[in-house]
Structure 1
Amino acid sequence: MRLTSFTDFGLRALMRLAGEPERIFTTDEIAREFEISRNHLTKVIRQLAAAGIIATHRGAGGGFRLARSPHDISIGEIVRALEARQALVECFRSDGGACALTPRCRLRSRLRVAREAFLRELDGTTLAECAYPARDGSPPVPFAA
């Protein structure tokens, strides 16, 4: 399964947040650190907030941080949240797409099974296991609920 840049940026940001789960980060900071588009990252952050994976803070000192412990967030949950808008193939779209092969396609069911196996595998890995260390190299700090 090919992940979109949307999911790639989200995973990078979340891995960094997991390294310092108590800290509030800004979009500018993450975009600079990973050399990714700030505008694109802003959209990713909105979707992660809507999914309850991160919490946003407005005003002076605002930004975002993990909404839950990285031990309680699976990579599968993240990928599902970020890939919800992007169908793997046209026939997986919510409107069914317009693929001419759909009536007799033998690939669709196999792709569906493969996608689910991929996501099940990611469900077995937590964000804490993939935490990206702080810039100073210190180990990840435990999340205090």
Structure 2
Amino acid sequence: MQLTRYTDYALRVLTYLAVLPAGDKANIEQISLKYALSLHHLKKIVQQLGVFGIVETRRGKGGGISLLKAPQQINLGHVVALLENNLDVIDCHTSPCKILPACRLKGILAIATQAFMQTLNEYTLADLVSDNKSELIQLLLIEDSH
């Protein structure tokens, strides 16, 4: 299984926000530059994260984006489930398979997907940044010297 780029980029945005000093806000341009990602694409992602109540977005002076909850309250499985339209590993129905009525693979893959999501549900955003926060701060928040 592979997550979409949309979800990957959303998790990167959340990681960036999780290592900000308390009370600080980021702007999408900063995040876009640090990760070398499309600004336009990140705007859509941040907007969606705002709709889902994961981040707060404010325009204008004193504006920016920040987490609405503490990193330990943001469950990774929940975020992935919100952002991924389809967690099916294979599509048995678009081009119907001849063995579909007798196929066991779809069931096995469904169990694997359940295990994948169950594992993600055991982790929060805090787990992504707790042991390596100083390194992430160095990589994401400290200006490049060249």
With normalisation by structure 1, the TM-score equals 0.79
| 2:125 aligned partner | 127
Taking structure 1 as reference, are residues 22 and 100 closer, same or farther at Cα in structure 2, changes over 3 Å only? same
How large is the RMSD of aligned CA atoms in angstroms? 2.0
Task: State the shift of 1:67 in Å.
Answer: 0.8
Quote the Cα distance in structure 1 between the aligned partners of 2:86 and 2:96.
22
Q: Deviations over 1:105-128 (max 9, x none)?
A: 332222221111111101111101
Quote the Cα distance in structure 2 between the aligned partners of 1:88 and 1:39.
28
Letter in 2 for 1:6: Y
Q: Does the 8 Å CA contact 2:55/2:65 hold for their aligned counterparts?
A: yes
Quote the Cα distance in structure 1 between the aligned partners of 2:66 and 2:73.
14
2:94 matched to 1:98?
A: yes
Q: Deviations over 1:57-92 (max 9, x none)?
A: 12223221101010111111121122136754335x
| 2:60 aligned partner | 59
| 1:6 aligned partner | 6
Letter in 1 for 2:9: F
Q: Give the number of equivalent residue pairs.
A: 131
> Helix, strand or coil: the match of 1:90?
coil
Quote the Cα distance in structure 2 between the aligned partners of 1:86 and 1:28.
30
Between the two structures, name the one with larger relative contact order (CA 8 Å, sep ≥ 6). Answer: 1
- Within 5 Å, which residues of 2 pair with 1:65-80? 65-80=66-81
Return the index of the structure with the highest Cα Rg: 2
Q: Does the 8 Å CA contact 1:47/1:81 hold for their aligned counterparts?
A: no
Quote the Cα distance in structure 2 between the aligned partners of 1:30 and 1:85.
27
Letter in 1 for 2:42: L
Quote the Cα distance in structure 1 between the aligned partners of 2:25 and 2:103.
48
Taking structure 1 as reference, are residues 58 and 83 closer, same or farther at Cα in structure 2, changes over 3 Å only? same
Quote the Cα distance in structure 2 between the aligned partners of 1:86 and 1:47.
18
Which runs of 5 or more residues in structure 1 are unaligned?
A: 92-96, 137-145
Quote the Cα distance in structure 2 between the aligned partners of 1:89 and 1:63.
39
